[in-house]
Amino acid sequence: MLREDFINELKIENEELQFQLKDLEYLIQLKEEELADLKKTSQNIIELQSKLDQNLYQFEQMQNFIGNQQQQAEGALRREASMEEEMIDSMKAEKSYYEIREEFKSNKLALNDLNQQMNEVVALYHQITDLKNKITSLQSDLEISNLDNKFLKEELFNYKNQTPS
């Protein structure tokens, strides 16, 4: 009677472990999907950083150009009309500078946010590793329980065969 209760308890525990294992596998799948999404986001950050670097380079080129043009304009009064055109270009470049500066600030904030998300991904990766280790342990415990069940069944069978009915 006690052995049957013990066997029933082992079966119930075995079923509970199976459900827990399925839940853990589902959680791992969700975390892997999140990790894939974060990798895509990381790639987008790299592309944005490249665009930002390119914009900054163009801005520096524009600043150099404006400086050269202003030096030439100061030395040549007869080119006053062309100087006005260059001043208009300069205003456009300055406007572009402020737009680029704002875009840089926005991209910097986005980069900081993505760095934070990457830190969270690392934490999630560690959780996934811990969960995988727990799953391995649970699987090992399950195999041991299955072996114990098998041995108990064999003992019960042998016991029933040895005792006269």
Summarize pLDDT for 73-103 with one digit per residue, the tens: 566 656 676 668 878 888 988 899 899 899 9
- Report how far residue 141's alpha carbon sits from residue 137's, in angstroms, rounded to the nearest whole number: 6
The mean per-residue pLDDT over the stretch 39-47 comes to: 87
Query: Which one, of 122, 107, 133, lies nearest residue 52 by Cα?
Result: 107
Give SS3 for 152.
helix
pLDDT of residue 134: 94
Give burial (CB, 10 Å; 0-12/13-18/19+) of 103: middle
Length of the chain: 165
The candidate with the shortest Cα–Cα distance to 131, out of 120, 146, 139, 145, is 139
Which amino acid does the sequence have at 61? Q
Q: 150 or 48: which carries more pLDDT confidence?
A: 150
Q: What is d(CA 139, CA 131) in angstroms, rounded to the nearest whole number?
A: 12
What pLDDT score does 55 carry? 83
